[in-house]
């Protein structure tokens, strides 16, 4: 039983670290602010989630303390993570950060021009 | 829905007073009996029997975790490609949801799922402007959001 629990903990910590490393790789390699926001808002959320789950299981099964604050932490990260990504992408667009040349289609441009005129 | 849950808790409390068992077990017994009563009287309420909605919420959660996993595999694939070959795009997505909290929930779900981030919500709340990391076909992307998330959210809010 201990072996099973240990392997679950190790697997979840490894997965979390893997996703966070991949976030960092994506942040370096992706061409513009918006594609970087993709990497930062998704993989980082899931990476932190896996690490927190690993920590939770460790303290619950090995140390014997049931720590509900970790669960709350997971919930809070889930609520705030995507909103952070959204706000940063929006602020970048409306302060005039150009998307990469690969961008094939831009429906937001009209809305941006309209907003700029109305200010 | 809230009225039905409140009524169910109230019925459980009545059961606890009737049987004089003020314990967790007594509450659960009363709650289950109250559930049966509410199910038999479901035609007297304006909205659906509330367990349908609870079930819809659970399905939405499962869908969300599945899509979150897919999204991360997607990002990892893009990050590990030897040559960056993505074709990002901004596209407009017309939504049929009206309440503010539904739109917030939808944009949260879209942001955490494969290859899409909500960049801007129009002032009237009818259009979401979405940035896709790798866009092949706009109609297909819109249809896939509509068929998964919007349908699941409508399933929750339907009376």
Cβ–Cβ < 8 Å for B35, B12:
no
ipTM summary value: 0.76
- Which chain A residues in 9-68 lie under 8 Å from chain B, judged by CB atoms? 19, 22-23, 25-26, 29-32, 34-35, 37-39, 41-43, 45-46
Q: B61-94, pLDDT tens digit by residue?
A: 888 888 888 888 888 888 888 777 777 888 888 8
Model confidence at B143, in pLDDT bands (50, 70, 90)?
Answer: confident
Residue A99 per-residue DSSP state: P
Residue B137: the pLDDT is: 66
Residue of B nearest to A88 (CA): B119
Distance CA B45, CA B4 (A): 8
* Alpha carbon of A14: minimum distance to chain B alpha carbons (Å): 15
Q: B1-42, pLDDT tens digit by residue?
A: 788 889 999 999 999 999 888 888 999 999 999 999 988 888
This prediction has a pTM of 0.78
Positive or negative, the CA dihedral B2, B7, B13, B19 is negative
Distance CA B30, CA B16 (A): 7
Neighbour-count burial of B77, counting CB atoms closer than 10 A to its CB (0-12 exposed, 13-18 middle, 19+ buried): exposed
Nearest to B16 by CA among B6, B2, B28, B4: B28
Which residues does B98 contact at the CB level (< 8 Å), separation at least 6? B125
| Res. A17: pLDDT tops 90 | yes
Neighbour-count burial of B100, counting CB atoms closer than 10 A to its CB (0-12 exposed, 13-18 middle, 19+ buried): exposed
List chain A domain ranges.
Answer: 1-118
Residue B6: the pLDDT is: 92
Residue B43 per-residue DSSP state: G
| Res. B112: pLDDT tops 90 | no
If you count them, how many residues does chain A have?
119
Domains of chain B: 1-44 (no CATH), 57-158 (3.30.310)
């Amino acid at each position: 039983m201990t072996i099973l629990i240990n392997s679950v903990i190790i697997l979840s910590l490894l997965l979390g670290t893997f996703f966070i490393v991949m976030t960092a790789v994506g942040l370096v390699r992706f061409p513009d602010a918006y594609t970087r926001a993709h990497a930062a808002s998704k993989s980082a959320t899931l990476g932190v989630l896996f690490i927190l789950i690993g920590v939770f299981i460790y303290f619950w099964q090995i140390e014997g303390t049931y720590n509900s604050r970790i669960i709350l932490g997971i919930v809070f990260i889930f609520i705030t993570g995507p909103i952070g990504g959204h706000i940063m992408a929006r602020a970048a667009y409306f302060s005039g950060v150009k998307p990469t040349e690969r961008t094939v289609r831009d429906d937001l441009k009209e809305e941006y021009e309209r907003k700029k005129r109305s200010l | 829905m809230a009225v039905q849950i409140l009524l169910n808790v109230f019925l459980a409390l009545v059961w606890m007073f009737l049987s004089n068992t003020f314990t967790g077990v007594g509450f659960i017994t009363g709650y289950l009996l109250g559930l049966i009563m509410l199910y038999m009287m479901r035609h007297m309420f304006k909205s659906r029997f509330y367990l349908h909605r609870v079930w819809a919420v659970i399905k939405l959660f499962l869908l969300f975790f599945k899509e979150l996993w897919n999204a991360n595999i997607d990002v990892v694939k893009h990050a590990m490609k030897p040559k960056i070959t993505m074709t990002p795009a901004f596209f407009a997505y017309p939504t049929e949801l009206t309440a503010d909290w539904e739109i917030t929930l939808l944009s949260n779900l879209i942001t955490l799922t494969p290859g899409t981030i909500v960049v801007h919500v129009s002032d009237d709340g009818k259009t979401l402007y979405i940035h896709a990391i790798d866009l092949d076909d706009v109609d297909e992307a819109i249809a896939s959001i509509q068929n998964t998330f919007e349908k699941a959210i409508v399933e929750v809010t339907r009376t």
